[in-house]
Amino acid sequence: MDYPARLDVTPMDRIARWRPLFQWILAIPHLIVSQLLMYLAQIVAFISWFAILFTGRMPAGMANLICMCQRYTTRTQTYAAGLLDAYPPFEFETTPADQGAYPARVEFAPALEGRNRLTVGLRFLWVIPALIVMVIIGIIGFVCWLIGAIAVLFTGTWPAGLREWVLKAIRANLRVYSYMYLLTDEYPPLNFD
């Protein structure tokens, strides 16, 4: 695992032509649950911030809860983008390892012990450059999604390069939020890989 938060997606060869443009409607229940879980992750990350500052370690239960929230959100984003046709499960396993058989696998290696209190204490400032790069990648990913969705409408397959940019945007989101929610002290890569 090159970064402590990783997304692996088994790409589909063919996909129904309507899916990328309209599948997000089917994902609305997951999007609602995902948003609620992200609020929960923010609260838990805030509490974890104090725990790490005072003890130098992150409680495993809090890390596992944030992993579950991040996994659920990432699977929902992958499905809503029309990259997969398998409906994501309403699964709430609080483990860093992905136990499910869903084609979008989200794995974590959270740092629990020996945390750098300085990087955690100033995380709200140090995450700003990564957020800016994530937004740039997200905008490019959205444009690629629009073009790719139109291509799928006519061909029934995702152009590989466009699908990869959509996945890059989802991966960038996963990495930055894993850093921001204190799962790792390793800064997310500021590149387009």
Question: How far is 28 from 24, CA to CA, in rounded Å?
Answer: 7
Can you tell me which residue has the tokens 């995902």? Answer: 34
pLDDT at 185: 92
pTM, 2 dp: 0.91
pLDDT at 93: 86
pLDDT at 9: 92
Q: pLDDT of the chain along its 193 residues, tens only?
A: 589 999 999 888 888 888 888 898 999 999 999 999 999 999 999 999 999 999 999 999 999 999 999 999 999 999 999 999 889 989 888 889 888 789 999 999 999 999 988 889 999 999 999 999 999 999 999 999 999 999 999 998 999 999 999 999 999 999 999 999 999 999 998 776 6
For residues 65 and 94, the answer to whether their CB atoms sit within 8 Å is yes
pLDDT at 100: 77
Q: List phi, psi (to 5°) of 125.
A: -90, -45
pLDDT at 66: 96
Q: Count the alpha carbons within 13 Å of 86 in the hemisphere toward its beta carbon.
A: 14
Domain ranges (residues) in the chain: 5-180
pLDDT at 193: 65
Question: How far is 158 from 47, CA to CA, in rounded Å?
Answer: 41
